[in-house]
Chain A
Amino acid sequence: MTLRIFIPRDAAAVSVGADEVASLISAAARKAGADVQVVRNGSRGMLWLEPLVEIERDGIRYGYGPVNPADVPALIKAGLLEGKLAAEIKSPLSIGVVDDHPYMKRQTRLTFARCGITDPVSLSDYRDHDGYKGLERALGMKPIEIVDEVAKSGLRGRGGAGFPTGIKWKTVHDTPMGQQKYIVCNADEGDSGTFADRMIMEGDPFLLIEGMTIAGIAVGATRGYIYLRSEYPHAQKALNAAIAAARKAGYLGPNVSGSGHAFELEVRMGAGAYVCGEETSLLESLEGRRGLVRAKPPLPAHKGLFGQPTVINNVLSLCAVPYIMAEGAKAYADYGMGRSRGTMPIQLAGNLKFGGLFETAFGITLGELVDAIGGGTLSGRPVKAVQVGGPLGAYFPRKLFDTPFDYEAFAARDGLIGHAGVVVFDDTAQMAKMARFAFDFCSVESCGKCTPCRIGSTRGRETMDKVMAGQNVEKNLAVIEDLCNTMKFGSLCALGGFTPYPVTSALTHFPEDFGRPAKKLAEAAE
């Protein structure tokens, strides 16, 4: 019987040697004449264990990690290729049954259910693991019923803004038929600390294709584009392979699964502009122009790509749809808290012992994520600050660790969950420097269309330089606060509008880093 060995093709695994490990194991198997099939799966998301090598015994997967190329000979010697029982393969790298690992056990994987399990570019694997069940059910419904189902699930835009997906779809559904409508997937995942889009596109690309196909049928759009950032070449390859396979099998094309609906899909590459993650800038870029932000209204739902009605959703929003359609809106909405329904694939990153992807229902606290699941800092030093939601997200100190992961709860504490990236910093971080970086990043990436963002970010960086040099600290900090106010309320989009979040949160929670007296204990305990 063929032994199956799984070694991820995920870029994070590859970045730490998965390709070398895979070729060493394949070569050893050939040499030994062992009947072994190496499957390049997606990542399970336990990224500190990458490269994670898994073997399958009676349908159960056992893991070893992190396996460096230098560890391969010992694993082979221990009997990796011999079909022994997993318990008989002695290795210090053994983690036992992967599904029983506490990191996996604590998750609720709806969107990432298949990621790491299947061969990402095998359509038959996808179908064998409940793939295309959502589409199948959708094809038996009226388009408006699909829209209603998504609305009832409570799904909100996972890109950061948290806008109800069902309302977006309804708006495009209600525009007159007979005109070209589009589904655009925002795969310009530029936020530092986020990699869920990348992981799912590399690890389960058919899921995104299915989600977009359902969206197309629901709103009457026959064309879709995935706008993918150029920093993700592995995702590009996986998506193109999956699109070709889906087209060949009739899941894409002029007659999707014999339903009479047409849907075509194409991947387009960005070119290194962060602002193109903003939806209107992205549309400009797709049209072949500078990524200048558009004023709204008109909304993309009315006048989007090439002026046509367009649904533009984040990768994770679209990837949540197949589950909602297959299992029903209620099954999804049963998870979560308040107005944040369902699950969120949270990304634990930066200076953390157990960094990775952790999908869970809304409501888990920031402290649980950082300490209990992330295991604290990799450096072993105390956690100083946690930035949630990318470069435009607020820095949270330990005293706010009781904040539950929920759109409204984070907003109430002057933060945002954004695309759910959590970046942990230890006590060596200098928060004034981080505030300066926020302005600097904004000034480099600003599209330049509106003044508060274009000028404010540059003045902000200059003023932070003065603060850090100890010049007229209080006066200059007053300028910073004023600039932040102007940017927050006067910018055209979230780049300028949210840059104040990291700046003011750093200033509020870590005043001593800015040359201000540290908060009194009583005040800090509030």
Chain B
Amino acid sequence: MSRFEPWSEERTLEIVAEHATLEGPLMVILHALQHAFGHVPKEAIPVLARELNLSRAEVHGVVTFYHDFRPELPGKHVLKLCRAEACQSMGCENLVERAESKLGVSCGNTSADGRVTLEAVYCLGLCATAPSAMIDGRVVGRLDAGRLDAIIKETQA
């Protein structure tokens, strides 16, 4: 069972209506869609364009500009590893390599069994407790090989 609801036009229209009175609502709506569906499916784009009186190109342009909006469903777990300078100074690149080899997947992809999406993130603002990570929205600081292995084990349970 996915933790997200399947995409439907009806639900998309509901979400649009909830935010219709905001100034500049598109980003808020996209976040809400991703929250509900786990991604922003391409089927949603013409619906948003019609409802917000934008061109499909404009909506597509916004969806694809931002790293956060996913075109496809993520894995069961999402593991983000910070690769910015402060984490680099504390050896995050070794941990990225370790995660990639343990999960058999490179950053930006989902493991073949659909369990884990591994992503790079550029700064979680935890730069004095580096290296840092985020697993399913939970922040992890002072990451080392042992803590990383424990997180990976959690995702395999």
Residues of chain A within 8 A of B141, CB atoms compared: 12, 15-16
Counting CB contacts under 8 A, is A48 at the interface? yes
B138 CB to closest chain A CB, in angstroms?
A: 8
A96 CB to closest chain B CB, in angstroms?
A: 21
Counting CB contacts under 8 A, is B27 at the interface? yes
User: Which residues from 130 to 148 on chain B have a C-beta closer than 8 Å to any C-beta of chain A?
Assistant: 130, 132, 134, 137, 139-142
Cα distance A50–B130 in the bound complex, in angstroms: 13
Tell whether A350 pairs with B65 under 8 Å between CB atoms, given A423-B89, A426-B89.
no
Which of A16, A232, A270 counts the most chain B CB atoms within 10 A? Answer: A16
Residues of chain B within 8 A of A131, CB atoms compared: none
User: Which residues from 76 to 134 on chain B have a C-beta closer than 8 Å to any C-beta of chain A?
Assistant: 84-90, 121-130, 132, 134
Q: Which residue of A190, A348, A357 contacts B123 across the interface (Cβ within 8 Å)?
A: A190
- Does A195 contact B128, Cβ atoms closer than 8 Å? yes
0/1 string, B49-68, CB within 8 A of A gives 1: 00000000010011001111
B85 CB to closest chain A CB, in angstroms?
A: 4
A425 CB to closest chain B CB, in angstroms?
A: 5
Which of B24, B85, B88 counts the most chain A CB atoms within 10 A? Answer: B85
Q: Which residue of A lies closest to B130 (CB)?
A: A350
- Does B31 contact A289, Cβ atoms closer than 8 Å? no
Residues of chain A within 8 A of B69, CB atoms compared: 271
Which of A192, A270, A423, A429 counts the most chain B CB atoms within 10 A? Answer: A192
Cα distance A202–B23 in the bound complex, in angstroms: 26
- Does A192 contact B86, Cβ atoms closer than 8 Å? yes
Residues of chain A within 8 A of B139, CB atoms compared: 11, 14-15, 234
A222 CB to closest chain B CB, in angstroms?
A: 12
Counting CB contacts under 8 A, is B13 at the interface? no
- Does A355 contact B128, Cβ atoms closer than 8 Å? yes
- Does A15 contact B85, Cβ atoms closer than 8 Å? no
Tell whether A285 pairs with B125 under 8 Å between CB atoms, given A12-B141, A193-B85.
no
0/1 string, A185-202, CB within 8 A of B gives 1: 000011111110110000
Cα distance A234–B66 in the bound complex, in angstroms: 21
Counting CB contacts under 8 A, is A291 at the interface? yes
Residues of chain A within 8 A of B61, CB atoms compared: 289-290
B18 CB to closest chain A CB, in angstroms?
A: 15
Cα distance A192–B125 in the bound complex, in angstroms: 7
Residues of chain A within 8 A of B89, CB atoms compared: 350-351, 423-426, 429
- Does B137 contact A194, Cβ atoms closer than 8 Å? no
A149 CB to closest chain B CB, in angstroms?
A: 30
Residues of chain A within 8 A of B90, CB atoms compared: 350-351, 378
Counting CB contacts under 8 A, is A250 at the interface? no
Q: Which residue of B30, B67, B121, B128 contacts A356 across the interface (Cβ within 8 Å)?
A: B128
Residues of chain A within 8 A of B127, CB atoms compared: 192-195, 347, 349-350, 355, 421, 423
- Does B125 contact A189, Cβ atoms closer than 8 Å? yes
- Does B122 contact A274, Cβ atoms closer than 8 Å? yes
- Does A269 contact B24, Cβ atoms closer than 8 Å? no
Counting CB contacts under 8 A, is A286 at the interface? yes
Residues of chain B within 8 A of A347, CB atoms compared: 127-128
Tell whether A190 pairs with B122 under 8 Å between CB atoms, given A14-B139, A15-B140, A347-B127.
yes
Residues of chain A within 8 A of B142, CB atoms compared: 15-16
Residues of chain B within 8 A of A421, CB atoms compared: 86, 127
Q: Which residue of A lies closest to B120 (CB)?
A: A444
Q: Which residue of A lies closest to B27 (CB)?
A: A288
- Total contacting residues, chain A, CB less than 8 A: 60
Q: Which residue of B30, B66, B84 contacts A273 across the interface (Cβ within 8 Å)?
A: B66
Cα distance A522–B85 in the bound complex, in angstroms: 31
Tell whether A273 pairs with B88 under 8 Å between CB atoms, given A15-B129, A231-B124.
no
User: Which residues from 251 to 305 on chain A have a C-beta closer than 8 Å to any C-beta of chain B?
Assistant: 268-274, 285-291
Counting CB contacts under 8 A, is A437 at the interface? yes
User: Which residues from 218 to 235 on chain A have a C-beta closer than 8 Å to any C-beta of chain B?
Assistant: 230-234
Residues of chain B within 8 A of A369, CB atoms compared: none
Which of A15, A273, A306 counts the most chain B CB atoms within 10 A? Answer: A15
Cα distance A348–B139 in the bound complex, in angstroms: 20
- Does B67 contact A271, Cβ atoms closer than 8 Å? yes
0/1 string, A420-435, CB within 8 A of B gives 1: 0101111001000010
Residues of chain B within 8 A of A268, CB atoms compared: 27-28
- Does A391 contact B85, Cβ atoms closer than 8 Å? yes
Tell whether A192 pairs with B62 under 8 Å between CB atoms, given A15-B132, A288-B26, A288-B27.
no
Cα distance A348–B69 in the bound complex, in angstroms: 32
Name A's B-contacting residues (CB within 8 A): 11-12, 14-16, 47-48, 50, 189-195, 197-198, 230-234, 268-274, 285-291, 306, 347-352, 355-357, 378, 387, 391, 421, 423-426, 429, 434, 437, 441, 445, 447
- Besides the known contacts A189-B125, A269-B31, A272-B68, 6 further A-B residue pairs in the complex with CB atoms under 8 A apart: A12-B126, A195-B126, A197-B125, A421-B86, A421-B127, A423-B127
Name B's A-contacting residues (CB within 8 A): 23-28, 30-31, 58, 61-62, 65-69, 84-90, 121-130, 132, 134, 137, 139-142
- Can you list 12 pairs linking A and B with CB atoms under 8 Å apart? A11-B126, A15-B142, A190-B123, A192-B84, A193-B84, A270-B68, A271-B31, A273-B65, A288-B24, A288-B26, A290-B61, A350-B86
The list of the 4 closest CB pairs from A to B, nearest first, reads A355-B128, A288-B26, A15-B141, A192-B84
